[in-house]
Chain A
Amino acid sequence: MAGLTVALLTRNPFYLVIACAAAAFVFGVLRQRQSGHTEPTAVAARPQAWQPVIRLALLLGLFTVLFNVLTSHHGRVVLARLPADWPFLGGPLTLEALLYGLSTALNVLALLLVFTVFNSAVGPHEVLRLLPAFAYQAGVALTIAVSFIPQTVVAWQELQEAHRLRGYRRRRLRDWQPLFVALLGNGLDRAVQLAESMEARGFGATTASPTPGQTLLWRTGVIIGLLALLMGLLARAFWPAAESPGLVAVVVGALLVVVVLVRQGRAIRRSRYRRWLWRRRDTAVTVTALIAVAGMIVMARIGEDLLFYYPYPPYDWVPPFHPVPGLLAALLLLPALLMPPATLALTEG
């Protein structure tokens, strides 16, 4: 979580590099521990491959950098020029645009890394178990969606092979159409089977079916709450005079939604199998993570220019560096240092 905050709050490449390095290190330690086990453990459940993430990040990065350099023509340091009569692309290509693109790419990389680490440390079902009751059903849907992806990839490969076996060469977009249809059909079949299996194992068995009146009440509650929220936000944004009524509307709307969700959640009775063992080092990790988050937020609030980076004029294109945020970003290393060599540990990204 702290990693995410860092990645989201700053554009400064120095801090981002530190965060990336920390994430990579934690990931490396995780991997090492996982491969060290002969008997797979819970943590080893999803040994994430390193290369695809990097590849994805590079691809996205390349795209953002190119896009930025080719479309943003502001800046003082001109590297090259394209004919000015080219739509969009024409004009000077500047160092500032390149740097801005690079910092965005770094941002993406940091986000991806943090997600990967989190994912390989904590499985989706573990997150699911931590969710409050009212979010549980949405959570189940999400886990299932995640587990559908690898199965769909396999089905896709098989379908492609099948298409070739029928003598088809795919030249045009239209040739792909039957493949997509078949993939969709296959996905639907699996969804039906899964639904059967869940139903047969009593999914939703203890949910007291709400009366029609209750359902209506909940639905109107959610709708009114969301409307109030939206109106409050709009009022605050576009109508400065209505700031305090807007705030009231936001608060009331949010409260209403939460109350309804909690009430709904109470109708679902389920129990949780096996909670995590909370150890002292978990507390340490959580505390440092919180410090990093809080520190970053405080930084962002009081000394905005500390995290600020904007290469275009009038600012300097050399990013500033301040040790405090650097140190905060480095705090993310802690999970790797605290991880015991053999036993299970919960790590917080």
Chain B
Amino acid sequence: MIALDRFSFRYATATEPILREVSLRLPQGAFVLVIGPSGSGKSTFLRTLNGLVPHFYGGHLSGCVRVDGRDPVQAAPKGMADLVGMVFQDPESGFVVDRVEDELAFALENWALPQDVMRKRVEEVLDQLRIAHLRHRPVSTLSGGEKQRVAIASVLTLHPQVLLLDEPTSQLDPQAAEEVLLALRQLNEDLGLTVVLSEHRLERVVQYADFVLYWPGHGQPPLLGTPAEVLRRVPLTPPLITLGKALGWEPLPLTIKEGRRFAQALKERLHLPVVSQPSATVTPANGREAVVVVEKLWHRYTSGSRGAGIEALTGVSLRVHRGEFVALMGRNGSGKTTLLKHLVGLLPPTQGHVRVVGYETSRVSTETLVRHVAYVPQNPERLLFAETVAEELALSRRGHGLPPDPEADRALLARLGLDHCRDSHPHDLSVGEKQRLALAAVLVPDPELILLDEPTRGLDYVQKHILAELLHELRRAGKTVIMATHDVELAAATADRVVLMAEGQIVVDGPARRVMAESLVFASQINKLFRDPRLLTPEDVLAGLGEGRR
């Protein structure tokens, strides 16, 4: 059992405590989902349970913590390792040795267990997480989901009672995330392992959780209860729950299956346009200028780069017109990122042509192109070099050879909701803020085409919402946006065209509503609920209802 009693903690550098007088109890064997905005104390709470807080980070604490009767503050992380296993966001940076089997043995060797015990435990864990076939592989060759399962296995060898996971799927694509979450549920059900998991993708985990622990942030006390209880009181939730709350559905549905019941009854009352009418912004493409013209593009990675010899694109042709909002979707490795990189000239075509805002990309340098094309890569942090947020924009201006213009920079930061942290170090921002700062940094020369690669990775619902609003605003300003994403809900809320890629080719290309309604995997929650191309988001449903009432 996990118990906190009037526990407070303040980081050495902070002025306010991040956890204030927290008292709570988590029963043994529970699957606990920890949610809350970035910086609300989720990670701190998890690290308290195995002693990384305060032993690794330092700070001031009061009150008491007990995990199964043991005090993590006294025992220190290495003394908790046999009771509490901890898995981190990025599995790759936690690996010590490079072979799966050795990685699993690492903790056992640290505990000086005899050889026969080690052999047995490694074999058991390999089976529990279904990674026996990976045992001899170097960890660097594994997929994201496999890596995370190895990371989980590597802490399970010590037979802990509690498994802590700090946003274990935030770096993974949906399929890999599903793989990891299923493994966790199985461990929880089969072994009675207590699982405490912080996660942003509520819609995927909420059905497995026994309890939800919500951290509102700003030192406010956390909220603990069953998923339905807590989610009712949490401001931003997955679309299904948002709709359920708006319409007062009781009991609050957590899964599509539970929601269907209400949806059937509701659908009769909805007044929807008779003809499936695409949203007003989609006007026929002809007559408008094409911003992006890709013709029979092939790309093969040459040796020396990652994925050497792989044919990432095999004959892609695509036209995107001014003002369109395209969501590029598809599995990992289907060529989305490669295509985006071609559009900003980071990769030269192996064969074929790419023309972007009138430039043939093979003829101009990326440095020239980025004045017209903004590209935010998957890891926005990489894009940030400066010491402060304000300096970051000034750096962009210098890079583009533009004169300094603090007024314009200030306005841009305000537009992106970053004016409160002008003087902060970019490293200290939350994931969402970093994402927006990276966007601000590439928006400085006022480009007309904006490319985003996985912009919602690691974002919570609040940050996602802010990003979606921002993208809408860019659209209204007449920008063209192409966004590679796994996030079906974001695509449903923003895009008017969906391009589906697989194995380096475009498989489906059409209006977002039609593509989503016809797909099982790439459909939004609300669409799965009603299976109607006119209903993709909670707003669509509420609008239909509004018309009915009139």
Contact = CB atoms under 8 A, between A and B. Distances in A.
Contacts of B346: 161, 164-165
A273 interface: yes
Contacts of B95: 147, 194, 197
Interface in B66-104: 77-82, 85-86, 88, 90, 92-99, 101-102
A161 B344 CA distance: 11
Interface in B105-158: 105-115, 118-119, 122, 136-138, 140-141, 151, 154-155, 158
Given A165-B442, A199-B56, A205 B78 contact: yes
B395 interface: yes
B481 to A, nearest CB: 16
Contacts of B399: 166-168
B137 A202 contact: no
B96 A158 contact: no
B88 A202 contact: no
A44 B137 CA distance: 9
Given A39-B136, A169-B367, A274 B105 contact: yes
B136 A46 contact: no
B396 A166 contact: yes
Contact of B377 (A158, A169, A182, A194): A158
Interface in A171-203: 178-179, 181-182, 185, 189-190, 193-203
B50 interface: yes
A126 B105 CA distance: 13
Interface stretch (A68-76, A103-111, A254-262, A264-272): A264-272
Contacts of A195: 56
Contacts of B90: 193
B50 A166 contact: no
A342 B325 CA distance: 55
Contacts of A151: 92-93
B52 interface: yes
A167 B400 contact: yes
A165 B366 contact: yes
Contact of B77 (A128, A199, A272): A199
A147 B103 CA distance: 13
A202 B77 CA distance: 7
Contacts of A206: 110-112
Given A125-B99, A165-B383, A150 B140 contact: yes
A185 to B, nearest CB: 7
B379 to A, nearest CB: 7
A273 B92 contact: no
B133 to A, nearest CB: 8
B94 A193 contact: yes
B90 to A, nearest CB: 7
Contacts of A168: 367, 399
Nearest to A181: B385
Contacts of A33: none
Contacts of B110: 201-206, 270
Given A42-B136, A196-B56, A273-B115, A203 B78 contact: yes
A319 interface: no
Contact of B88 (A140, A193, A204): A193
Given A45-B98, A163-B385, 17 more contacts: A40-B137, A125-B98, A125-B102, A150-B140, A165-B383, A168-B367, A182-B382, A185-B427, A197-B88, A199-B52, A199-B55, A199-B78, A202-B78, A202-B111, A271-B108, A271-B118, A273-B102
Interface of A: 39-42, 44-46, 123-125, 128, 140, 143-144, 147, 150-151, 154-155, 157-159, 161-169, 178-179, 181-182, 185, 189-190, 193-206, 269-274
9 contacts: A40-B138, A196-B52, A200-B77, A200-B80, A200-B81, A200-B155, A270-B109, A274-B101, A274-B119
The 10 lowest CB-CB distance pairs between A and B, nearest first, are A197-B94, A202-B81, A273-B105, A167-B399, A205-B78, A178-B385, A201-B107, A167-B400, A125-B97, A193-B93
